[in-house]
Structure 1
Amino acid sequence: MKITRVRLFEVELPLVHSFQTSSHKKSSLTHILVELTDEHDSTGWGEVASPTHPYFTSETTDTAWLMATGYLVQSVLGVEWEHPGDVDGCWAKIRGHEFAKAGFAGAAWDLWAKANSQSLAAGLGGTRSVVRSGVSLGIEPTIDILLDQVDKQVSAGYGRVKLKIAPGWDVLPVQAVRQAYPALDLHVDANGAYGSDTSSMDRLAQLDAYGLTMIEQPFAPRDFPAHARLQERIATAVCLDEAVVQLDDLRTMIAMKAGRVLNIKVSRMAGLTVAKAAHDLAWNEGIPVWCGGMHEFGIGRAGNVALSSLPNFTLPSDVSGSDKYYARDVITPAITARDGAVDVPTGPGIGFAIDHAWIAHNQLRYFDSEVPADQSGRQ
């Protein structure tokens, strides 16, 4: 296969419900969509789901656009390849910028799966036809509002709820939700908001009393020792997210016993190739995984669903229906959840049609580059 054209679309979609984390609040999201075209004019789509601001990661939409237009496009144009893993080698010299790379890797996997007349899930080695889904709820102004949000999601059939926490918004909201829903699969995510001092450790240790499935990323991304100390102290599983960007980070987590669960985010780990390798390594080490989300549009969400069909994704993943986040998505039909579960698409590639009109309507920036006609290899 040869990529003969690359198009980039920066698109902003409003959120149905604003979302508050430990760092900031957002009411809309801006992501970059990647379209790769091969010599047969077939196309594959991927999504750069980087945040707009540098709070979750150092990458932003602007840095991803710069990296994509300045480096990644030229690294893949005109290159011959047989498997999506080969495309990752095109940017081997480029350090970091995992979110930007993930968009190109996703488009390559979609293109390759379509060329082989198989679903993305099948191409990745998926083994299940339905994926259990959970939802992630942000920090709300009051506990009553939070309980209303939890009730909506439980009523919609979701069996797992993740609560964002931060210093000052942790024990009391968790206690309230647990009292209201004694049997709910509940876990919390701090996005690295806590220090590793004794008082923070003591505060987080109080959460051990509420039967949580996990405490996700309480400390700074590189602070493996703090995570290891907390895991040794509490019965609740510590889950790492931002800390694991490369496979070597996962090996560090395993060696230091810094957690017992891994959140695999496709975007954080530079795409589906690395994410699948992380799944395989964790599986061999007996570490269960689940697929986290970045509020992806439908293109990235479809990739997450396909990845979540792999056998070691034994915990509910953040692959809830698109309607929880967007009134209209960039794919048709939209991804839907039924009783807290999402069907794994069986159509070629990501398994959905692209809503070109909606993309154009919400487009902020556009980029187009292709190899010269005499070098395209079109037949």
Structure 2
Amino acid sequence: MEIQRIVLRHMKMQLLHPFTTSVGTEYDKDFILVEVRDKDGISGWAESVAAGDPFYKEETVKTNWHIMSDFLIPMLQKSPISHPDDVSKCFSPIRGNFMAKSAIEGAIWDLYAKKQGISLATALGGMRKKIDVGISIGIQDHVEQVLDIIDEYVGKGYKRMKVKIQPGWDINVLKQIRKKYPDVPLMADANCAYSLKDIDTLKAMDDFNLTMIEQPLGFDDIVDHAQLQAQMKTPICLDESIHSAEDVRKALYLGSCKVINIKIGRVGGLTESKKIHDLCEENNIPVWCGGMLEAGIGRAHNVALTSLSNFTLPGDTAASSRYWKEDIIDPEVTVEDGMISVPDKPGIGYEPNRDRIEKYILYSHTFHF
């Protein structure tokens, strides 16, 4: 894989609707689009999922740009690779910065699959031709708005509803949802908004037959989650706490959770995502693919990863039209009867639309090899 150049593009796209969680509200999406081009003129693409602020994780668009430009890309310039799995080894001297690493590695995975003439899903070992998907519903002004959104997407066949919660926006919301939709697959995502002092509130959620409650406690915790899981029948899913297969091993040893959310950017890339998937499969722990408000290229990577066998729970990868007036790929990601068809074309299976990409660039830089 003889890389000729890497292009970083700082992008900004406006969301169709504001998205609110316990850590804040997003109105638009800042991200870095990575293009890795080889000597034959073939390009691989990926997105960095870091936000403009360090509220979900410590990484931001600006820190990612710095780490990619000043460390990761120079490392690749000095150390040629033959397979995408080599990328994480190349980057191993750099601690953390998982989203920066993931974006470059993802583009190389796409390039690799295209060079092999196979889909990214096939390159990763995926077997599914279609994947089940759900939606993530941000915190609203009124419960009725949540019910209206659920009504719309149940009607479209989506397989699971995830609602964001926080103290004061939890029990009543779940109660009203269950009153109207007693059987819809439902999960709650707390984004670290609670502590063990809230254990009575969290235990009360057992009454709502939730598929899981996602990351109720601290963003870096696996110990208190073990104590909480021992007292709840609802499965706990870990998100923010998990950065590697080693984190998963420790969480399972402690009994901190019964489900793992795999976000490609949060764990440092597709190679580590596969390791987590395989470890969970060996231990009969279901996984699902979380979303980070990705544009089409990042969304395509999620689709490919979710084709692996142990992604047995619907993920967050909704249709492009859920978030964007127009996406930056052709065709856009679409959902039919709550499922997305996994592309079988080489690479991510969607074509980046360069004209639309140009519309949303704030600035770019090219690194030659």
Question: Residues of 2 paired with 1:354 and 1:182: CA distance?
Answer: 41
Could you list the per-position Cα deviations for residues 41-71 of structure 1 after superposition, in whole angstroms to 9, with x for gaps in the alignment? 2110011011111111000111111111111
Give the CA deviation at 1:133. Answer: 0.2
SS class of match (1:350):
coil
Give the CA deviation at 1:196. Answer: 2.1
Superposition pairs of residues 1-379 of structure 1, within 5 angstroms:
1-77=1-77, 79-197=79-197, 200-371=198-369
SS class of match (1:33):
strand
Aligned partner letter, 1:298:
G
Aligned partner letter, 1:305:
V
Give the CA deviation at 1:167. Answer: 0.7
**Residues 78/349 of structure 1: CA separation in 2 closer, same or farther (3 Å cut):** farther
Could you list the per-position Cα deviations for residues 329-353 of structure 1 after superposition, in whole angstroms to 9, with x for gaps in the alignment? 1111100001110000100000111
Q: What 5-or-longer segments of structure 1 have no aligned partner?
A: 372-379
Question: Residues of 1 paired with 2:12 and 2:157: CA distance?
Answer: 29
Kindly indicate whether the alpha-carbon contact (under 8 Å) linking 2:43 and 2:111 is maintained by their aligned counterparts in 1: yes
Q: What 5-or-longer segments of structure 2 have no aligned partner?
A: none
SS class of match (2:196):
coil
Question: Residues of 1 paired with 2:214 and 2:352: CA distance?
Answer: 34
Aligned partner letter, 1:319:
T
Could you list the per-position Cα deviations for residues 53-92 of structure 1 after superposition, in whole angstroms to 9, with x for gaps in the alignment? 1111000111111111111121223642221001222211
Question: Residues of 2 paired with 1:71 and 1:180: CA distance?
Answer: 52
Could you list the per-position Cα deviations for residues 244-280 of structure 1 after superposition, in whole angstroms to 9, with x for gaps in the alignment? 1122110111110000000000010011010011000
Aligned partner letter, 1:220:
G
Q: TM-score, normalised by structure 1?
A: 0.96
Kindly indicate whether the alpha-carbon contact (under 8 Å) linking 1:4 and 1:78 is maintained by their aligned counterparts in 2: no
Aligned partner letter, 1:179:
K
Aligned partner letter, 1:329:
D
Question: Residues of 2 paired with 1:79 and 1:108: CA distance?
Answer: 14
Q: TM-score, normalised by structure 2?
A: 0.98
Question: Residues of 2 paired with 1:93 and 1:4: CA distance?
Answer: 24
Question: Residues of 2 paired with 1:89 and 1:234: CA distance?
Answer: 39
Question: Residues of 1 paired with 2:63 and 2:183: CA distance?
Answer: 43
Question: Residues of 2 paired with 1:210 and 1:34: CA distance?
Answer: 42
Question: Residues of 2 paired with 1:180 and 1:171: CA distance?
Answer: 14
Kindly indicate whether the alpha-carbon contact (under 8 Å) linking 2:196 and 2:228 is maintained by their aligned counterparts in 1: no
Aligned partner letter, 1:194:
Y
Identity of aligned residues (%): 41
Question: Residues of 2 paired with 1:360 and 1:164: CA distance?
Answer: 33
Aligned partner letter, 1:42:
I
